[in-house]
Chain A
Amino acid sequence: MINEVLHTLPQVLIDGLTLGAVYAIVALGYTMVYGILELINFAHGEIFMTGAFVGTAILLTFAGFGWLASMPALVALVLVLVVTSVVTGLLGMGIERVAYRPLRNAPKLITLITAIGVSFLLQDIVRFIAELKNGNYILTGPSLFSGQIGIKASSISSIFNDASVKSSFFIVLIVAVIMMVTLDFFVNKTKWGMAMRAVAQDRETAALMSVNVNKVIALTFFIGSALGGATGVLFAIQYGTIDPYIGFILGLKAFTAAVLGGIGNIRGAMFGGILIGIMEMFAAANLPVISHGVLGAEYKDVFAFAILIIVLIFKPEGLFGKVSIEKV
């Protein structure tokens, strides 16, 4: 049994790393917004989904004009990433302005309910537009990087099977790493990043220190949503097919990642995302083997939620979070 698990390990690691990178960046959006507003932005998963659709739409338009063939794939990718992240960033800012800002002092329950409403609204608007333009809301984009690369893991040790990698895997990973490093630099080393941390720590005091709180919150939403949208593009490139309902469950898992890493902690969210991705892929590949066919691969979602519940019960502050004490 252990041999079987080891056989598939290289492939599991590679798939898990790809998925984990996606979770990690989406988790960043959750963790940033939660850190600053103490609000679970349910709509973030939908922003990710919108990003995937916007990116695919741009690629399809390019392909329609025949530009895609004439320009290098990397240039097209960068172009799409930039445009999509600006669009989704503005979308995120708009959502904050319309739906969350008026409720900043309302009970938490009400804000959460608005967030769910926004999430449903976005799902249906995207479904509607996609169906209107395309006739079907399930969309398949043009493949930019479709080369397959074999990794000879068996040459390292005979217990491993060979793994195969789509070349988009490297693109996803590299872009994800660039985004995470840039964000980390931005938050920890720049003036705006300092303002963001100050607002997260104490909104009133930050305002007294002449930090423009509204602007900082809007900026947080812009950055989080832009990253989420860009990740959507990466997701669409890596997995090909998208539909308007991918965002919700993926968002939930990304939120799990954020909680696992300690909510509000940016580096924790990155780590949590990768961990959840690898664990989920591991479960999908090996649950039937380990349980002798009792539990199928369909239980991988149950697995992710089970992690969430276990973390919340036994270590609600997450792996890297600070314990918060509620004061009266």
Chain B
Amino acid sequence: MKNVLHTIQQNKRLQAIVVGLYIVVTFFSLYLAQKSVVAFLLLLSSLLLLYFTTFSNRVKWLIGGVVMVVLLPLAASQGEAYQSYMEVATLVGIYIAMALGLNIVVGMAGLLDLGFVAFFALGAYTYGIFATGQANNFMPFGHYPLSGESFWVFIFIGCFVAALFGILLGVPVLRVKGDYLAIVTLGFGEIIRIIFNNLDKPVNITNGAMGLASVQPPRLFGIDFMYPNQFYYIVLVILITVIFAVRRLEFSKIGRAWKAVRENEIAAQAMGIHLVKTKLMAFAVGASFSGMMGVVFAAKQTFVDPTSFTLLESITILVMVILGGMGSVPGVILGAALVTILNLQVLTELTNWLNQLSLNGVINVPDALSPAKMQRFIFGVILILFALYRPQGLLPAKNPVFDEKDLKDADKLINAGVQKEATQHVHLDS
């Protein structure tokens, strides 16, 4: 087995055949067997297979793009389950973006944030309030609800509002040490939820526990975006932007500063890294992804209420990061996809199946044991097992490796250039 894997790893043509065959087979199995959730998941996991190939990044992105943009929607579109598949894919995208945001805070900067869903809520409410008649209650000017065209602007506004609150929370909080931070952010998450839950008096801003209903759908060139297959493309575009941004940030100066702060604050400070600024940046960037997706979430659900933003959600996102691997972008994407699919598809399917079995009298599973209720149990087990036995996650973060010899050669070249210049200067001087 090991040998086979090794030869495949050596041979690019073989890889191309395997990946191509896999995509074609899963594509047609989903195309023909519309009800098969397994086929849908297998087609999605072709992206994971693609990740393990040794193609250049550009080729990987290209194939991945074709699968995501064309093949997946096309294969799923042949039956009644189309919208539900797209719904799952959209939610997976939303959660991946949030998990990537939390990954910056927890994975790269090493700040445990247990109230992350608060930023998601901020984004969702920002759009929810202005895209329903709710804003009429307190805004002195303007006419609400705003039309669906404003959605595109609100993506940026939601991003900005969340980042602003990230900084506002960060300024006082970052003076406390690591483990206190977890508690304070947890408290912050609860505070935001309680405030949204009760901000219907004296001025009705959030409509309290009733929530905001019938949020305006986004509109572009006169087309209303109402269905999951349309939101799928919005989420895809934002997600690719987010992934691109995260990859660039990770290897930029600020990304290296985050990692330095994570490893040792005092040493990082001694190296001239401004602690507060670096941490605030992590908070703001992480929060902004979440806020952006909050806007999309509000538009997709067309309904916002405080129950979507509980502590369980924050922990769910944390589980995604831990499962995938703290600090590792591909890992977190995998983790987010796995947890979301587990939550939305596997658990509900299992529950239905067990119910069916109980109805037929094959086995009798008590209602208390139904898998849909076991979320906390499963998350708890994942957190403990991964912390104990695999703290680096499924796909561990890789630091760029430099070849010592190459560096020395490059160094020599530069030095030679400098010497040459120096001699030229000497000539000029004389």
Contact = CB atoms under 8 A, between A and B. Distances in A.
Interface in B167-183: 172-173, 175-180, 182-183
Given A99-B388, A294-B202, A328-B266, A305 B190 contact: yes
Interface in A267-306: 293-294, 296, 298-299, 301-302, 305-306
A152 B114 CA distance: 46
A119 B311 CA distance: 13
Interface string B367-409: 1110001111101111110011001000000000000000000
Contact of B201 (A40, A252, A293): A293
B176 to A, nearest CB: 5
Given A114-B384, A131-B368, A328-B266, A299 B194 contact: yes
Given A293-B202, A298-B197, A312-B184, A114 B383 contact: yes
Interface in B143-196: 172-173, 175-180, 182-184, 186-188, 190-191, 194-195
Nearest to B176: A312
Interface stretch (A21-29, A100-108, A168-176): A100-108
Contacts of A124: 374-377, 380
A313 B198 CA distance: 26
Interface in A78-123: 99, 102-103, 106, 108-114, 116-123
Contacts of A305: 187-188, 190-191
A320 interface: no
Given A120-B383, A121-B377, A309-B187, A301 B194 contact: yes
A316 B183 CA distance: 13
Contacts of A149: none
A125 interface: yes
Contact of B380 (A40, A121, A301): A121
Given A113-B318, A116-B318, A255 B379 contact: no
Contact of B384 (A39, A118, A299, A301): A118
Contacts of A109: 106, 110, 112, 178
Contacts of B368: 127-128, 131-132
Interface string A26-49: 000000000000111000000000
A248 interface: yes
B388 A120 contact: no
B205 interface: no
A316 B172 CA distance: 12
A132 B391 contact: no
B322 interface: yes
A108 B178 contact: yes
B366 interface: yes
A100 B26 CA distance: 44
Contact of B179 (A39, A119, A121, A293): A39
B183 A40 contact: yes
Contacts of B280: none
A309 B374 contact: no
A308 interface: yes
A293 B203 CA distance: 11
A112 B112 contact: yes
Nearest to B266: A328
B315 interface: yes
A120 B194 contact: no
A206 to B, nearest CB: 22
Interface string B241-253: 0000000000000
A40 B387 contact: no
Nearest to A248: B311
Interface residues of B, number: 49
Contacts of A119: 380
Name the prevailing secondary structure of the B interface residues: helix
Nearest to B202: A294
A75 to B, nearest CB: 33
A197 to B, nearest CB: 21
**Could you say which interface size class chain A belongs to?**
35 or more
Contacts of B383: 113-114, 116-117, 120
A39 B188 CA distance: 20
B280 to A, nearest CB: 15
Contacts of A123: 376, 380
Contacts of A38: 179
A95 B173 CA distance: 30
B376 A40 contact: no
A312 B201 CA distance: 30
Contacts of B382: 117
A308 B184 contact: yes
Interface in B97-140: 106, 110, 112, 114
A297 to B, nearest CB: 10
A120 B180 contact: no
Contacts of A114: 383-384, 387-388
Give the interface centre of A116, A293, A301 by most chain B CB atoms within 10 Å.
A116
Contact of B315 (A40, A120, A299): A120
B402 to A, nearest CB: 25
Contacts of B177: 316
Contacts of B380: 117-124
Nearest to B311: A248
A7 B61 CA distance: 70
Given A119-B380, A296-B198, A132 B366 contact: yes
Give the interface centre of A119, A301, A309 by most chain B CB atoms within 10 Å.
A309
Interface string A225-264: 0000000000000000000000011001001000100000
Given A132-B369, A296-B201, A298-B197, A99 B384 contact: yes
A310 B173 CA distance: 10
Given A128-B368, A312-B176, A301 B190 contact: yes
Contacts of A306: 191
Nearest to A291: B202
Interface string B340-368: 00000000000000000000000000111
Contacts of A309: 172-173, 184, 187-188
A312 B172 CA distance: 9
Contacts of B191: 301-302, 305-306
3 closest A-B pairs (Cβ-Cβ)? A117-B383, A121-B380, A120-B380
8 contacts: A120-B380, A127-B376, A132-B366, A252-B190, A294-B201, A302-B195, A313-B172, A328-B266
Interface of A: 38-40, 99, 102-103, 106, 108-114, 116-125, 127-128, 131-132, 248-249, 252, 255, 259, 293-294, 296, 298-299, 301-302, 305-306, 308-309, 312-313, 316, 326, 328
Interface of B: 106, 110, 112, 114, 172-173, 175-180, 182-184, 186-188, 190-191, 194-195, 197-198, 201-202, 266, 311, 315, 318, 322, 366-369, 373-377, 379-384, 387-388, 391
Given A117-B384, A132-B366, 4 more contacts: A109-B178, A122-B380, A128-B374, A301-B191
